[in-house]
């Protein structure tokens, strides 16, 4: 397994790593950003190009591996979904603002962004985020709270946005995004019997990340020790979908 990963990585072109990598800096005039708080964060720290432009698969794979221990098996398919957001059909890179195109990957019912119908879907929006936060009622979020927050945002959008849409790919990404922040900021306990106990995520890390688009090193976060693979992510998403159905039909408290 190690050998396979090593081979995949060494096949990538050598990437120049800028000197100021790691340091957080706000985006400058002309820099572009995404509706994704993590890609924005990694650009703000210089793991991705600070201007948000010209991101190839090789750059994305290296950045997410270095900064948050995400495996090629998960970043490669994610990148492949993102490539068509570049309006140039022959392009092999993306700019972060390409990801904002509605209903390719960007979808309604986001946790911290408005629906396109109401306003810009790329930038952080405090009232939307407050609704999400209202479901996080303990210092550590369990998977049940994270699932309810996701459901609530979709239900609110579906009932207030006359142009609400939720294509299947958007829905799948939506569950993936709720999984993603838990995997990056939470403590994994994937052998737990109850899905609700599989990750426990400090609320203050999640708030800091969403609100500042910055890695929360100064309040104690460290790069995850466990490497996130595609199988781990997909299994967690499938289990969260089951949990969500159970919460909605009242069989899971």
Ligand X SMILES: *[C@@H]1O[C@H](CO)[C@@H](O)[C@H](O)[C@H]1NC(C)=O
Rounded CA-CA distance 191/122 in Å is 36
The number of beta carbons lying within 10 Å of the beta carbon of residue 14 is: 8
Rounded CA-CA distance 24/242 in Å is 38
Residue 141 DSSP label: E
Which of 84, 119, 130, 90 has the alpha carbon at shortest distance from 105? 84
13 binds, among Mg ion, ligand X, ligand HEM, none (CB under 5 to 8 A by kind): none
Structure tokens of 171? 């829905």
Question: Quick one: which segment of 66-74, 81-89, 111-119, 175-183 binds Mg ion (CB under 5 A)?
Answer: 111-119
> Element (H or E) spanning 46, and its range?
none
| Helix (H/G/I), strand (E/B), else coil: 70 | strand
60 binds, among ligand X, Mg ion, ligand HEM, none (CB under 5 to 8 A by kind): ligand HEM
Sole binder of ligand X in the list 90, 138, 159, 168 (CB under 6 A): 90
40 contacts Mg ion (rule: CB under 5 A): no
79 contacts ligand HEM (rule: CB under 6 A): yes
Region 114-133 residues binding Mg ion, contact defined as CB under 5 A: 121
Give 44 or 112: the residue with its C-beta nearer to ligand HEM.
112
Sole binder of Mg ion in the list 40, 85, 110, 128 (CB under 5 A): 110
Residue 193's Cβ-side half-sphere holds a number of Cα atoms within 13 Å equal to 0
Rounded CA-CA distance 95/33 in Å is 8
Inter-residue contact 29 to 44 (CB < 8 Å): no
87 contacts ligand X (rule: CB under 6 A): no
38 contacts ligand HEM (rule: CB under 6 A): yes
84 contacts ligand X (rule: CB under 6 A): no
246 contacts ligand X (rule: CB under 6 A): yes
Which segments within the chain are labelled E, that is strand?
Answer: 55-56, 93-94, 140-141, 187-188, 199-202
Question: Quick one: which segment of 135-143, 165-173, 216-224, 239-247 binds ligand X (CB under 6 A)?
Answer: 239-247
Decide: residue 204, CB within 10 A, 0-12 exposed, 13-18 middle, 19+ buried: middle
Question: Quick one: which segment of 17-25, 35-43, 44-52, 239-247 binds ligand HEM (CB under 6 A)?
Answer: 35-43
Total binding residues for ligand X by CB under 6 A? 8
225 binds, among ligand X, ligand HEM, Mg ion, none (CB under 5 to 8 A by kind): none
Residues in contact with ligand HEM by the rule CB under 6 A = 35-39, 60, 64, 70, 75, 78-79, 82, 99, 105-107, 110-113, 173, 177, 180-181, 184
> Using CB under 6 A as the criterion, which residues of the chain lie in contact with ligand X when the complex forms?
88-90, 242, 245-246, 249, 251
């Amino acid at each position: 397994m190690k050998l396979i990963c090593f081979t995949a990585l060494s096949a990538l072109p050598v990437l120049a790593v800028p000197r100021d990598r790691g340091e957080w800096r706000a985006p400058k005039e002309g820099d572009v950003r995404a509706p994704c708080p993590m890609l924005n964060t990694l650009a703000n720290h210089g793991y991705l190009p600070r201007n948000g432009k010209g991101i190839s698969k090789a750059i994305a794979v290296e950045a997410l591996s270095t900064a948050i221990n995400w495996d090629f098996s998960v970043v490669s398919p994610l990148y492949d979904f993102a490539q068509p957001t570049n309006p140039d059909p022959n392009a092999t890179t993306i700019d972060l603002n390409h990801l904002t195109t509605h209903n390719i990957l960007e979808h309604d019912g986001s946790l911290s962004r408005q629906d396109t119908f109401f306003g810009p879907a790329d930038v952080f929006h405090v009232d939307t985020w407050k609704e999400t936060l209202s479901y996080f009622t303990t210092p550590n979020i369990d998977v049940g709270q994270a699932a309810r927050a996701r459901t609530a945002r979709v239900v609110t959008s579906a009932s207030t946005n006359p142009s609400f849409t939720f294509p299947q790919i958007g829905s799948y990404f939506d569950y993936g995004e709720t999984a993603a922040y838990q995997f990056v900021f939470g403590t994994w306990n994937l052998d737990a019997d109850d899905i609700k106990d599989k990750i426990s995520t400090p609320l203050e890390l999640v708030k800091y990340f969403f609100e500042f688009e910055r890695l929360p090193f100064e309040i104690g976060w460290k790069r995850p020790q466990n490497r996130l693979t595609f199988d781990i992510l997909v299994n967690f998403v499938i289990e969260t979908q089951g949990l969500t159905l159970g919460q909605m039909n009242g069989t899971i408290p």
